[in-house]
Structures are given as C-alpha cells and as structure tokens.
Structure 1
Amino acid sequence: MSELLSKVENFATNLLVNKLDNNYLYHNLRHTQRVVKSSKEMLQSYNLDELDSNAIVLAAWLHDIGYTEGPEDHERKSCEIASAFLREQGCEAPLIDKVCKLIMATQLEHEPQDLLEEIIRDADSSHLAQNSYTETSEMLREELSLLGIADMSPREWRKANIKMFQTKHRFYTDYAKTNWQKGKDDNLKKLIKSLKKENKARKKEELKVRLKNQSPERGIQTMYRVSMRNHLKLSDIADTKANILLSVNAIIISLLLTNLIPKLDNPSNDYLIYPTGIFVLFSIASMVMSVLATRPNVTSGEFDRKDVENKKVNLLFFGNFHKMKLQDYEWAMQELIKDQNYVYNTLTKDLYFLGVVLDKKYKLLRWTYSVFMVGIILSTIAFFVALKFYGPERIIELPT
C-alpha cells in the first residue's frame, strides 16, 4: 500500500504542478499537501483500519486534481480522474468507491455521513485555524478574481469570511474541535477586529469629508485667496500699462529732442513750433500721469498696542509695520491669529484698500491714455495745418 500511496502522491503532484492553471493561487499543490498533512494528523488520534486510513490519505491527495480541467463540478472530475488512475494501478472496487465517496464529501453543501467524511471535511478546512489564514484567504480571493468567479474588495471579502465563520462552517470531528477550534475562533476575532477598525477609519474619513464640505472655512479661504490673486494681477496689469505708456512717450520725446527741436532755430521752420509744442506738452503730461499711476504711497510704518487691541491696524500690509521692531510685530501677529474674526477683518481691509489703490490707478490710467490719444490727434492736426497754411511754400509766395 505504501507503494500505491507514493504513486498517487507523484501522480497528483505532477498534475497540480504541470497541468494546473497558474491562476489557481489557493487550490494548488500547497493546499493539497496541507490537507494531506491535516488528514494524517487526525488519523493518529483515531483507531481506523488500514483500508479506511489509506482511503482518506488517497482522497486527500486526489480531491482537487479535477481543477486541472476547470473549476466547474471539480469534485466529480477529480473522482473520474482518480478512479481511472486507481484502476490502472490494480486497486479493487471497494477502495476506489470509498475514495470517490470521500472526494465527493469535500463539497461545501455536503453534510458528512460518517467519521471518514468528517475527517476529510475537517482536513480540507484546517487552514481556517492556522496562523497563516490571512495570507491563505487573500490567495483565495485573488484566485476567484483571476478566474472570473467573484471580484470582491478586501472589505467585502472580510465580511463574507466573517459570515462563513459564524454561520456556514463548523468542525465535525472531536479532534478538530479540541485542537483547531481555538485557532479558528482567534482568526474570527482578528477578522472582526480588523473590520471594526476599518469601519471606524472609514466613518472617521467620511465624517472628515462631510465636515470639510459643510464647513464654510474652506470656501471663505478660497474666496480670499482668489480675490487677493485677482487684485494683485490687476495691479500688475495697471503697472505694465503705465510703464508701456511711459516708455512710448520717453521714446517720442527723445526723437523730438534729437531730430525736430534742433531744426526750430531756422526761421524757415517757425511754422513747426506750435505743433511741436503741442506734441511735447501732451507727451510730458502723459509721462507725469503714468508716473503718478505707479508711484507708491509713503506710509508711517508704525503702530502701537492700542491699534492692535482695538483691531485698527492691518498687519498684513508692510507699510503699516516696516519701522516696527521685530518683537513688537511678532506680538501683534500672535494677537492677530488668536482671533479668527480679526484675521478675516484684516483680510477684508487688505482687499478693500487694494481695491481703493486699483481704482486710483485705473482712473489715472484712463486719463493718461485719453491725454495721450488727444495729444496725438491734436499734434497731428496741428502739423498738417502748419504745413498747409504756414509751410515753406506759403512763405516764398509772400511779397518782399
């Protein structure tokens, strides 16, 4: 019989190693070896005859070889493959029938009818009591997903396992109840504890998200941030426009000084004095207004404790504190951040005074562009009038 057991072991090992799909992460040779080891462990506690003992070991080796032909009805396929092989080895019908009966007893919905079936069933589920249960269970979840049988998240899988532990599985033999039940109960406690911990973390995260969405703080901060950015961007645009106009007028005046004004010494060019004067006057006015639009205001740069206590000073604007000592400013900022309303009031004042400055800048810019435009138009008209009525040709025609 030992020779037969050796042949069956080699036969099952060969099938599970060479013909089994790699997606079987759980129902593989490792699982079969675990069932065989658990069967032999229980057999040492029961006084069974040689035929029954050998039948259990043979069934343990052969109960999952049907997976080599697919997961559907694998117990029946295992029985057929096992029967054919055992007949080739010259086994008698009673032994073959007993092995097939034990293989079919590993079906989850089957209720064991005798001690032999109870032993094979408990051996098949012995991993539920082992320390490696978590890793083994995860392999089964991955296997079911890879085979397209079931795709469950870790949380769903954990809940399904808890339900299985509590309602669908039990050990049948006295040996398993005595030696494995405690390990199973410990694994169940770990599952429940892990699920509770996950639920607690999940609820905490949901509460955090809900409070975050409900709280106006984020919206208020975003409003101030966006408003401040828009104000600063508009200020940069105003400064850029003023600089462009300042540069253009500077170029115009430079060209006039180098090309046109030196020619006014000639009496024949007297007709150009007024157009040139108009042009220069409006260009200088545009430059002055451009400078006024970009010129910074000078502030005192100081405040006292009463200003902070009465919440009258804007500590976010450098012009209000640049002359203060560092320790005084640090104290003032500490007072500011203690009071949320003071913070928002300060931000509001900052936005307001930025708006006031922007209003002044854009009004000056509007007048500056208007002056520049009027100056260009008037000086151009003046040049044409001077050329038409007071140009060199008109001077030659005058009587001597």
Structure 2
Amino acid sequence: MEPTETLRPAKAEKSELLKQAKAYVTQLFEEKLPKQLVYHSLDHTVAVVKEARKLGEDSGLSAPDQETLLLAAWFHDTGYTEVYDGHEYRSMELAKAWLTQQQYAPERIALVQDLIRATHRNEAGETELHQLLMDADMSGMGREDFFANAELLRAEWETTLGKTYSSTEWAESQLDFLHSAKFHTDAAKSRYGEQFKANLKEQRDLLKKTEKKKKKKDEEENGTFAEPKRGIETMFRTMYSNHMKLSDMADKKANMMISLNAVLLSVIITYLGAKAGTKSGVLSPTIVNNPVLTIPIGLLLATALGSVVSAILCAQPDVTSFKWLKKSPQIATNRRVNLLFFGNFSKLSLDDFQSGMTELMGKKDALYTNMVTDIYYLGDVLTRKYRLLRISYTIFMVGLILTALSFGIALLYKM
C-alpha cells in the first residue's frame, strides 16, 4: 500500500478525529498548563471551539474546512503549556505532531498550522478561514461574559507578566481594546454585533464610574483638611487630652516634691538653728558636740535642695516661642508657627494675627498643620517637664540612700 493511501481523507471519521483532539488537548492542559493561566485555560479553548463551530455553520463551510477550522481551534492555545509569548508558533508544532500521528492529510495539517498562525497579534487574516478562527478567538468581546473574562485576563497578566493595573487604568485599557478591535466576517458581525455595542457602552460607563470614584477618593484624601473626618477629629481630641493629662500629672508630682522638700528643708534649717547660743554660735549644740553628724545632715540638705530646685524648674511655666521675621509671609502654613498657641501669636501684631487666622480658616491644610505643630510643641514641653521630674526624683532617691548610709556610718563611729 502506498503511503498516501494510508493518510486520512479530510471527510473521513471527522467526528471521531475531533473527539480525539478534544481528549488530547484536555489531557494536555490538565497536565501541563500553568495554574496561573486563569484566562487562557481549557474553558477558553472550549468556548473558542464552540464559537468556531457556529461561525463555520453560519458561513456555510464545507465539511473538510469545518473540520480543519475546529482542529485549529482546539490546538490554537496549546503552546501556552510551554511558552507564553509567541505561543502560537509552538501550538503549530504541537498540532502538526499530533495530526501527523493521526495520519491526517499533509495539506490539511499545513492549513491547520496556517490558521493557528493567523491568531498571532502580528499576523493578518487573509482568507475566510483565517478570519473565522480570529473572530472565534476574539468572540469574548461580543459575549455577555466579557467583563468576567477580562478580570481573569487581568489576574493572569499580574501573576504571569507582572503587569499591574489600577481600576482606572484597566478600564481605560479595555475601552481602548474595544475601540481598536473588530470582527472580520459577516457571520461574526451578525452574531456578536449587538452585544459588542452593549459591552462597549458598558465599558464607557464603567470607566466614567471608575474615574468618578477615583476623583471622589482623591477629593476625600486631599480634602480631608478642609472637611475633617470624625476619625481624625477623634485622634486630635485624644492626643490633646492625653497631653493635658500628662502635663497635669507632671505638675502634681512636681508640686508634691516641692512640698516634701520644702518641709524637709524647713525641718533641717530649724534643727540646725535650734538652741543656738553664744557658746555654740549659729549651729545647734547637737552638731557642735557631734561634728560627725554634719555629713549626713549636709547630704540630706543637699538632697532636698537639689530635688526641690529640679521640681520647681519642672513646674515652672514654659512658653515655647519663635523668632518672627516680617519677611516671612504665609503665617498659617509656616510649619514653625503655631497660631493656636499664645506663646507664638502673642509675638505678632494684631493685623498679622488676624490675617494669619483668616488664612488658617481658608487653606485646606493650614488648620491641621497648626494643630500638628501645637501637639509637637506640647510634646516638647512635656519632654522637658518629665526630664526635670526624673532628675528631681533621682536626686531625692540617691540622696536619701547616701544620707542613710552616712548616718549609719556615723553611728558606728560614735559607738
């Protein structure tokens, strides 16, 4: 038997060959197709085959051409199992290898390869079969599931190609795609024309809605200063309240140390001067008779004095200020100026203060800029207060320990 006689005729066992092609492609996709290809999946290939069959029937294709068209549809994306960009050319090789094993006619194998090549973005469809497969492959833009499939393609590009799009950017790209795309055959125009127009209109509306949402979001972000939100107001209210409480705590602790050390100083001075006479001079007879007690009493006196001085400095009013320069305009937006604090605005003339407050109420970010500056200055004052308070308590603690130790040593010395 001659080799040409063993080749499968175009019409012979058409349905069986297509079933075998379906089984082969299905198994190939299940085993080798990367999981991140959520758009160019088996479902997409099945949809293209379905649309190619209907377009071929509407165009009145002959049985051999219909079979060739469907075989090309089954194999047109098989190259994705090995390569992403330029997968069409790998699909041609896979189709040729499998069809050769099935003893399909060589001229028909070449035609299947030629049809698959036509689906590449840089190839032009010249024949009716080319255009039918191209229309079937792009039929999604004329179907109701266009937007759902578009999101799958977006996800696939992000995971496979690293291309990320904002909602607005994606809506713009899809609208550009619909504007530039077209169906080539009359069968496709008739089948998908109405839905294509509906999808185009819906995509325009979606872009407008997306741009409106983006604009609103930008206005909310940029307009937060002009129209304060509850969360931001709560944040500032909480911060002011916390600063005031901390300042009040520092003042109370400082006043406690002032009172305690003032009493201690009074007792020490009274004791040192008690029963002072002409023989003992200005000191108490106890000190004169026991000069070794001078050390612990002196330490206690120094402790009380150092602690009370630090506490007084802590409780002392501290007014932050700045050097105002007449050549510095835009008072309200100057980050170093706080018009909400008297220590700053008291340095200004009435006219400068009024103009600054007017600017403060008119600028978008001026109000919160001044509130942030005010909180910064409050924090600066609190830092100084608690540093001095810490010094006062440390002096008092260390001084008491040294006084007790020295007094114990003095007692041992006397014994």
1:181 corresponds to: 193
Residues matched between the structures, number? 282
Q: Structure 2 CA distance, aligned partners of 1:241 and 1:274?
A: 35
Shift of 1:247: 3.4
Residue 126 of structure 1 is matched in structure 2 by: 139
1:103 deviates by: 0.9
SS of 2:59 mapped into structure 1? coil
Q: How large is the RMSD of aligned CA atoms in angstroms?
A: 4.4
CA distance, structure 2, for counterparts of residue 108 and residue 92 of structure 1: 28
Aligned-pair distance for 1:270?
A: 12
Deviations 1:178-212 (A, max 9, x none): 22122122222222212111211222232333344
Report the counterpart of residue 396 of structure 1 in structure 2.
none
Q: Distance in 2 between matches of 1:27 and 1:275?
A: 102
Give secondary structure in 2 for the equivalent of 1:44: helix
> 1:150-176: CA deviations, max 9, x gaps?
333332222111111012x11122222
Displacement of 1:29: 0.8
Which structure dedicates a bigger proportion of its chain to helix? 1
Aligned residue number for residue 199 of structure 1: 211
Shift of 1:37: 0.9
- CA shift at 1:249, angstroms? 5.0
CA–CA distance in structure 1, aligned partners of residues 210 and 155 of structure 2? 20
- Mapped to 2, the partners of 1:177 and 1:98 lie a distance apart of 24
Q: Within 2, Cα distance between the matches of 1:86 and 1:196?
A: 49
CA distance in 2: counterparts of 1:155 and 1:190, whole angstroms:
14
Who is 1:110 aligned against? 123
1:79 matched to 2:86: no
Amino acid corresponding to residue 208 of structure 2 in structure 1: K
Q: Is the 8 A contact 2:167 2:210 kept in 1?
A: no
Q: TM-score, normalised by structure 1?
A: 0.59
The aligned amino acid for 1:199 is: E
Query: Aligned residue for 1:22?
Result: 35
2:52 and 2:70 in contact (8 A); partners too: yes
TM-score, normalised to structure 2, is 0.57
1:386 is matched with which residue?
A: none
The residue correspondences of 1:1-400 to structure 2 (distance < 5 A) are 1=13, 2-148=15-161, 150-167=163-180, 169-213=181-225, 233-248=246-261
> Could you list the runs of 5+ residues in structure 1 that have no partner in the other structure?
277-282, 295-339, 345-350, 352-361, 363-368, 370-400
For residue 183 of structure 2, what is the amino acid of its counterpart? Answer: F
**Mean Cα displacement is larger for which, 125-134 or 106-115?**
106-115
CA shift in 2, pair 1:89/1:220, >3 Å: closer
Secondary structure of 1:22's counterpart equals coil
How far residue 53 of structure 1 moved from its aligned partner, in angstroms, is 0.6
Structure 1 residues 190 and 49, CA gap change in structure 2 (3 angstroms): same
Q: Distance in 2 between matches of 1:159 and 1:220?
A: 37
In structure 2, the gaps of 5 or more residues are 1-12, 288-303, 316-360, 362-366, 368-373, 375-384, 386-391, 393-415
Corresponding residue for 1:303? none
Distance in structure 1 (CA, Å) of the matches to 2:134 and 2:44: 13
Question: Compared with structure 1, are the counterparts of its residues 221 and 141 closer, same or farther at alpha carbon in structure 2 (3 Å cutoff)?
Answer: closer
